[in-house]
Amino acid sequence: MSYGNWKPPLNHPLYPPKASPEDNHFFVQAYELPLGMRSLASVKTCQVGGGTVAVKFIEKFFRNELAIDLGTVNTLIYQPGKGVLLNEPSVVALDRYDGEVVSVGHKALKLLGREPRGIEVHRPIRSGNIVNFEVTQKMLRTLIGKVTDGFRFGHFVVGIPGSATAVEQRSVRDAAHDAGGRRIDLVDEGLAAGIGAGLSIDDERAHLVVDIGGGTTNIAIVASGGVVSSMSLPAAGNAMDESIRDYVRSNYCLQIGEYTAEALKRELGALNDNDIPADERKIQLVGKQLSDGFACAVQITAEEVREALEPVINEIVTGIRRVIEDAQPEAVADIYYSGMILTGGGSLLKGLKSRLQSELQLRATMPEDPISTVVLGAGILLDQPEQLYRCAIRPNLPVWQEAEELVVSW
Ligand code: ADP
Ligand code: MG
């Protein structure tokens, strides 16, 4: 059975209609304004869309409003009204002696695996979380410096994995603060990806968002501008590259680099025979022989790459199944109609969309540019302060949790 043309019956009586935006009445607090502006706001609270024109103008003028997707593989920066200002690999090259930044992004990536003695090349983010705080801070500061003039104080909205712990959230907040941010809002990447892919914050129906990035695959069920449940798996782009490297090592006794494995995945990675033309299903690969350390060239086929990728794909399918299994019946019914939204660079793997469709029997949709959905979603929230206030992850614990912790510590 093919799911390519299958469309859910959208007018089904059990499929509730979308809530109208007028249904939403909530308030934004004045502390959303920058610290120096508080006195300018004459009221303690203002209604949605309220606030004087003058305050808004001053606020806009002195602020650098940026949405940031600090990904394991790519970092993107977006500014409302201007679009995506930067899309560079999350790589930084540092001088080994004085710790100064030599290069970031594409330039630094070119040095990876062939760096001169005096230079260290870092990928400071692993699985969506900061593993080296100082290096991340330097990378982020340099990247932000590339797109801003540095004279204004920043308001940054940063996407982080839903599974990030309080300590990990704190480290992202601190790194963004040290990079020039005066107000930092963290948003769940699953939610940001959904909004970036076109979901409405007011839509109370549940949607399944699968973001296959470099370090992690984030699977989230989102509804009413919030995350209902989510899960992060290590089975993502980097795991696919590692799997290809393992395959070549055990079948050809050859060692290949990260960069070569990724290129092989992009060129030959396809989960269906028909996804690649017949004359392009073979590629020559040069690696380092395990026996004597010399270079050796071998021919590798698309079938072999598919075999290497299979365990990672199976893990992703199992992860999505588990999230659906654990969901409430109402959410599962909504997902039956709405299908799943596929985002992240990993979803560009040829044949992945149709494979997930047929294995999970759900319609899959993909935005035009799946790599920038998280940053676009964060940018949309940045433009809508009242929605951002509702969606942002709070630095403090909810009241009930604080009370529980107090009891435990007593
Ligand atoms: P992150 O958010 O973790 O930085 P991204 O969403 O930017 O990750 O996706 C990066 C991953 O997508 C990398 O592992 C890269 O190899 C993979 N990728 C990018 N383009 C393709 C493609 N055309 N085919 C397969 N994988 C791809
Ligand atoms: Mg990502």
Sorted by sequence, the CB contacts under 8 Å of residue 329 that are 6+ apart come out as none
**Bridge partners of residue 227, in order along the sequence:** 222
Question: Residue 76 and residue 213: Cα distance in Å, rounded?
Answer: 13
Question: Residue 286 and residue 185: Cα distance in Å, rounded?
Answer: 45
Residue nearest to atom 19 of ligand 1 (CA): 345
Two structure tokens written together for 166? 């309080």
> Using one digit for the tens of pLDDT, what is the confidence trace for 14-52?
444 444 434 433 333 333 333 333 333 333 333 444 556
Q: What is the pLDDT of residue 259?
A: 86
Residues of the chain with CATH 3.90.640.10: 237-309
Measure 69 CA to ligand 1 centroid, in angstroms.
Answer: 13
**Which of the ligands is closest to the CA of residue 378?**
2
Question: Residue 184 and residue 173: Cα distance in Å, rounded?
Answer: 6
Instruction: Pick the atom of ligand 1 nearest to 262's CA.
Output: 16
DSSP state of 38: G
In contact, 65 and 79? CB cutoff 8 Å:
yes
Instruction: Pick the atom of ligand 1 nearest to 211's CA.
Output: 6
In contact, 121 and 138? CB cutoff 8 Å:
no
CA 278 to chain centre: 34
In contact, 302 and 276? CB cutoff 8 Å:
yes
Residues in the chain where the model's pLDDT stays below 70: 1-63, 150-152, 396-410
Residue found by looking up tokens 């941010």 in the block? 181
Two structure tokens written together for 77? 């920066």
**Which of the ligands is closest to the CA of residue 352?**
1
**Which of the ligands is closest to the CA of residue 71?**
1
Q: What is the pLDDT of residue 86?
A: 94
Residue found by looking up tokens 């596929």 in the block? 342
Two structure tokens written together for 120? 């260290």
The phi and psi torsions of 104 (rounded to 5 degrees) equal -130, 165
Select from 153, 59, 49 the least CA-distant residue to 384.
49
Domain 25-198+373-409: CATH superfamily, name plus number: ATPase, nucleotide binding domain (3.30.420.40)
Class at the top of the CATH hierarchy for domain 207-235+316-367: alpha beta
Q: What is the pLDDT of residue 14?
A: 47
> Using one digit for the tens of pLDDT, what is the confidence trace for 288-311?
999 999 999 999 999 999 999 999
Q: What is the pLDDT of residue 270?
A: 87
**Residues whose beta carbon lies within 6 Å of some atom of ligand 1:** 71-74, 213-215, 237-238, 262, 265-266, 269, 344-346, 348-349, 371
Residues of the chain with CATH 3.30.420.40: 25-198+373-409, 207-235+316-367
Instruction: Pick the atom of ligand 1 nearest to 90's CA.
Output: 4
Measure 344 CA to ligand 2 centroid, in angstroms.
Answer: 6
DSSP state of 266: H
Looking at domain 237-309, which CATH architecture does it have? Alpha-Beta Complex (3.90)
